[in-house]
């Protein structure tokens, strides 16, 4: 799961281009412009971003505003979101966001010589959900298809799911977490996520 997510986020990092477009008008520009800001920062001071704190701060500042983390968390929990208390929902969003933060940082550090084929989003006028399709080209391996699903939230396009080789990350996480909740309850899942995050951050 982590490797798949890292590959998807690496695809986001590879999609930078110098042609900037208004993200408010073009959902594909969300992927493009966000990546350009991240890569510009990494290129300008690579030594600085070898430090986890600096790298994660960059992700929080540039990437997180373009992720609909609340909606992603809600869809990952599925029916369990409805039965969770407000406090449990808030904690899950926080713990899941911490997981995304570390995974994205890992993906950026894996960047080598991959290329990206990028196609503009196709959607009917007025659509509030769009899929941006991309393809990672690796020098020593097969192509990897990565689709970014975006939703329009109050005039802003945000990513809420990533599909890698026809496998939805939201659905995959939902399957994993549903099994934990069924066995240990919502508090059990939150405890596991918290422990994993603390261990990774120590």
* Average pLDDT for 101-112: 74
Provide the pLDDT for residue 21.
38
pLDDT at 16 over 50: no
pLDDT at 145 over 60: yes
Q: What confidence tier does 15 reach under pLDDT thresholds 50, 70, 90?
A: low
The average confidence (pLDDT) of the chain is 82
DSSP state of 88: H
Taken in order of first residue, the domains within the chain and their CATH numbers are 27-200 (3.10.450.710)
Q: 199 or 10, which is more confident? A: 199
pLDDT digits (tens, 9 = 90+) for 54-65: 988 988 888 888
pTM for the model: 0.80
Query: What whole-number distance in Å separates Cα of residue 99 and Cα of residue 80?
Result: 19
Contacts of 111 (CB under 8 A, 6+ apart): 10, 13, 14, 42
**Count of beta carbons in the 10 Å neighbourhood of residue 39:** 17
Q: Which of 91-100, 153-162, 187-196 comes out lowest in average pLDDT?
A: 153-162
pLDDT at 2 over 60: no
């Amino acid at each position: 799961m982590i490797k798949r997510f890292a590959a998807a986020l690496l695809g986001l990092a590879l999609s930078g281009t110098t042609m900037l477009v208004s993200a408010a008008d073009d959902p594909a520009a969300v992927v493009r412009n966000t990546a350009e800001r991240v890569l510009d920062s990494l290129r300008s001071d690579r030594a600085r971003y070898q430090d986890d704190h600096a790298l994660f701060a960059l992700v929080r500042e540039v990437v997180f505003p373009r992720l609909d983390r609340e909606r992603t968390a809600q869809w990952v929990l599925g029916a369990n979101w409805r039965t969770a208390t407000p406090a449990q929902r808030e904690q899950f969003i926080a713990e899941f966001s911490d997981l995304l933060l570390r995974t994205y940082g890992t993906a950026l550090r894996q960047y080598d010589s991959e290329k990206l084929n990028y196609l503009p989003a196709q959607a009917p006028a007025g659509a509030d959900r769009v899929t941006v399709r991309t393809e990672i080209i690796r020098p020593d391996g097969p192509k990897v298809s990565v689709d970014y699903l975006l939703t329009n939230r109050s005039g802003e396009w945000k990513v809420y799911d990533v599909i890698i080789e026809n496998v939805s990350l939201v659905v995959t996480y939902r399957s994993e977490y549903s099994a934990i909740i069924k066995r240990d309850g919502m508090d059990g899942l939150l405890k596991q996520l918290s422990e994993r995050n603390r261990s990774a951050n120590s």
